[in-house]
Structures are given as structure tokens and as C-alpha cells.
Amino acid sequence: MATPGEILARFNDIKTLPHVAIKLSQLLSDENSSLNQFEDLIRMDPGLVVRLLRAVNSPYYGLMQKVDSISRAVLFIGLKGLRNMVVTEALKDIFKLNSNSEAFTLSRLWLHSAAVGVCSQMIAERIFSLKGEDAYLCGILHDIGLIVLDQTVHAKLMEVIQAYDPDKGLNITVYENEIIGTNHTVIGSMLAKHWNLPESVQEGIRQHHRTSEALKPGGPGSMTQCADYIVSQLKFDIMPNLRPVLGVETTEHIKANLQEYKALGRDLPAEMQKAKDLYEDAADE
């Protein structure tokens, strides 16, 4: 069996984040970074300049006057919003990699991941009154490890999917550990660390299938687990028979706030459309 490090090294030979996305994450993690450093980085990528200006001038922000400078655009969209835009656009290319999987398509996995990202941000902001940028990033990346496994140990991943039995009530990671020797949450969190993404994002990816340990409601693992479960219930799932399992604490939290979560579920499709409009406007050349 290949180690997680070997699997990740194989994937990084196939695809990685663009330099500008990794550098943005590095600047964000450095409290001494200046706005000028961000502007200088953005100017190095003309395509990013276009995407940034189109995004901030899209109906999503509803600004009365057109923004035509990088500095003003960054002020409106926010540094974390800029990072999320860049990472989201880069992920679209990663999700377009060739796959021979008969069990799920990468386009379906992309829709599921995007839905979890949007739902995670809604949970952070509406349920816990937190800023939702990192929750969004964690959600959209939560299953990135599946792409890594699909591209590097495809045959083993297909064994996992064939062995998976939803009626046993076990997370798919149990089967991954038995057959592959690791699982997509471990690989995904390692990749997020390699990309210099926030520790909270790494934590949420690593924990989103954890049911045997207490996950604090409002923490990255619990919010991602909630979002994964909700979007799967709404049929934004990876494959029809895949059933995410909730931990006891997460289950109790949802029950205690059931009406709020029902309202969130009703609003999710509209919020997904808003996010889709934003990123498609941003990517439209």
C-alpha cells in the first residue's frame, strides 16, 4: 500500500494550485502583509485582474458605481474573498481531470463540493454568526482527497466503492482505510496544508467524517459534517447510495436548531445560484 505522502506526491506531479493561489494564502497567513503586496501579486496575473474586476462589478455585489482599480476591488471583495475566488477557479480545472470512474463523475463531485461550500458558509454565518469565508473554503475542498485517490490509486478506490454498503451505517472512510490504507480526509487535509491553507480548513477536511469523537458545534469539522449531510439529503450527492453519517454531537445540535436548519435548506438553492453567477461572471473571458 502507498503511504499518504506517496499518494500526495503522485497527485502533485499531475496537478497543483497555481502559484498565485498559493502565494495569496501565504500572504494571508502573514499578519505583516500589506495591501500593496496583494496588488503587486494580482498584477502579475492579467487573467486574475479581469476576473477580480468582473466579480466585484457583478450583480452579486450590486454596487452603484463601477470599480476599475485593483485596490478598490480588493477592498470590496475582501482578501479572503479574493483567495476563495482564486482557489475556486483553480479547483474547476482540477475537477476537469480525466476520470474512468463509473461510480461517480467529477462534475457531480464538483456540484456536491460547491454545495457543501455554500452550505458551510451559510451555517457559519446564519447559525453561529461567524465570518464564513474559511467555512466556504473548507466545504468546497472537503472531498478533494477523493480526486487525489481517483487520479493516483483509481483501482483501489473502485474497490472501496464496490465494497461500500450504505445499510451498515459506516462512513466510506472506514472502507478506504481497510482497502487503501488511508482515506480522502487525511489526503485532503495534507493537500490543504501543502497549499498553505488555514489550519481551520485543514481541520474541517480532516474531521468531516469523524463520528467517534466529539466535534464541537460551530467548529470547522462539525459545520462541514452538517453541510455534507444537508446537501446529500437535498440530492446534491456524489452518488445515489452514499450516505454521510453524523456524529452524536452534530446530530443533537441539528435537532436543537431544526427550524433554523430547515429554513437554511430551503434557501440553499438560491444561494448556490448566487455563488454560481459570481464565479461564472468572474471566469467569463
Domains of the chain in start order, with CATH, are: 4-15+100-283 (1.10.3210.10)
> What pLDDT is recorded for position 175?
96
C-alpha cell at 146: 477523493
- Residue 281 pLDDT level (bands cut at 50, 70, 90): very low
> What pLDDT is recorded for position 169?
87
107: which residues sit within 8 A by CB, 6+ positions away?
Answer: 95
Closest by Cα among 134, 140, 101, 88 to 118: 140
- Residue 12 pLDDT level (bands cut at 50, 70, 90): confident
> What pLDDT is recorded for position 128?
97
> What pLDDT is recorded for position 275?
73
Q: Is the pLDDT higher at 148 or at 213? A: 148
Burial group, residue 164, by CB count within 10 angstroms (0-12, 13-18, 19+): buried
Helix, strand, or coil (residue 140): helix
Q: Which long-range contacts (CB under 8 A, 24 or more apart) does 236-239 make?
A: 236/111, 236/112, 236/115, 236/116, 237/112, 238/104, 238/108, 238/109, 238/112, 238/143, 238/146, 239/103, 239/104, 239/108, 239/161
Residue 101 has pLDDT above 70, yes or no: no
Average pLDDT over residues 170-175: 94
Residue 132 has pLDDT above 50, yes or no: yes
Inter-residue contact 203 to 221 (CB < 8 Å): yes
Q: Tell me, rounded to whole angstroms, the distance of Cα 121 from its chain centroid.
A: 10
- Residue 253 pLDDT level (bands cut at 50, 70, 90): very high
Residue 227, CA atoms < 13 Å, CB-side half-sphere: 39
DSSP letter assigned to residue 213: S
